[in-house]
């Protein structure tokens, strides 16, 4: 049974999410704020965390940073602030998805199932190595190296990076990449893909990689071998 942590300072939101998750067969632990979660995460080892951004004390973004120091557990942000900067920062810090309040509990369940399904597929596949120029991608470990040095990528950065690498030299539109990386009809700004590409390019430059993600003007992106 998959174990989900739900962190939100609004009791009605916590209880509503719990109701839907229990119906789907998940084990659910609720938290009103982040301090207790940090104490319990290593002991209870959740499979996924639903995390509110706007909370008293330590907010969701700071909590995500603290979690990411020791854990790669998937995180879905929820927030009453529908601002692009929060979505970008949340994903940059290692979040896997973002929902704006008010949201449909059913949509949240779909996104949770999608993330957990992707992880399950990764666990059950044999490790393959994709090599492009000076890059090696170990797919089962989700590990990328450049001349023996690790290229550290967030969850979504890695998903995009691996997908482009598996389909090298083929251009994709932003909408196609949104569908492949998020795995459902993402309602939001396709510039999220531009932001992911920008961050990956910066990291490749910092590690002196020869690999480039090419902009196909008026269309999208491709990774050239």
Q: For residue 36, what are the contacts with CB-CB under 8 A and spacing of at least 6?
A: none
Give the dihedral of Cα atoms 108, 112, 118, 123; nearest 10 deg. Answer: 170
How far is the C-alpha of 17 from the C-alpha of 5, rounded, in Å? 10
Q: Quick one: pLDDT at residue 134?
A: 92
Report strand pairing: 3-7 vs 48-52.
parallel
Series of mean pLDDT values for 10-residue runs along the chain (225 residues): 94 95 96 90 92 87 88 87 67 81 89 85 72 90 88 86 94 89 61 85 92 92 92
Lookup: tokens for 69: 């120091």
The answer to whether the CB of 96 falls within 8 A of the CB of 68 is: no
Q: Quick one: pLDDT at residue 162?
A: 93
Query: Mind listing the domains of the chain with CATH numbers?
Result: 3-123 (3.40.50.2300), 129-223 (1.10.10.10)
Q: Which residues pair with 31 in a beta bridge?
A: 7
- What are 83-95's pLDDT values in tens digits? 666 667 777 777 8
**Cα first-last separation, the chain:** 42
How far is the C-alpha of 115 from the C-alpha of 157, rounded, in Å? 15
Q: Quick one: pLDDT at residue 57?
A: 83
The answer to whether the CB of 28 falls within 8 A of the CB of 112 is: no
Q: Quick one: pLDDT at residue 160?
A: 92
């Amino acid at each position: 049974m998959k174990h989900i942590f739900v962190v939100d300072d609004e009791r009605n939101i916590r209880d509503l999410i719990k109701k839907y998750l229990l119906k789907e067969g998940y084990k659910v632990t609720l938290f009103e704020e982040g301090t207790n979660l940090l104490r319990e995460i290593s002991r209870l080892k959740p499979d996924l965390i639903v995390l509110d951004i706007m909370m008293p004390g330590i907010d969701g973004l700071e909590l995500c940073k603290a979690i990411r120091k020791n854990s790669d557990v998937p995180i879905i942000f929820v927030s009453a602030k529908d601002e692009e900067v929060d979505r970008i920062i949340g994903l940059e810090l290692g979040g896997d998805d973002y929902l704006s309040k008010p949201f449909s509990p059913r949509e949240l369940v779909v996104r949770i199932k999608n993330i957990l399904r992707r992880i399950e597929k990764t666990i059950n596949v044999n490790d393959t190595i994709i090599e492009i120029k000076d890059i090696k991608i170990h797919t089962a470990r989700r590990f990328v190296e450049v001349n023996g040095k690790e290229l550290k990528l967030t969850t979504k950065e890695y998903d995009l990076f691996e997908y482009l690498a598996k389909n090298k030299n083929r251009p994709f539109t932003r909408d196609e990449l949104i569908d492949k990386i998020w795995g459902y009809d993402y309602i939001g700004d396709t510039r999220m893909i531009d932001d992911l590409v920008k961050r990956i390019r910066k990291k490749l430059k910092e590690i002196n990689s020869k690999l480039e993600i090419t902009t196909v003007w008026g269309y999208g992106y491709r990774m050239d071998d």
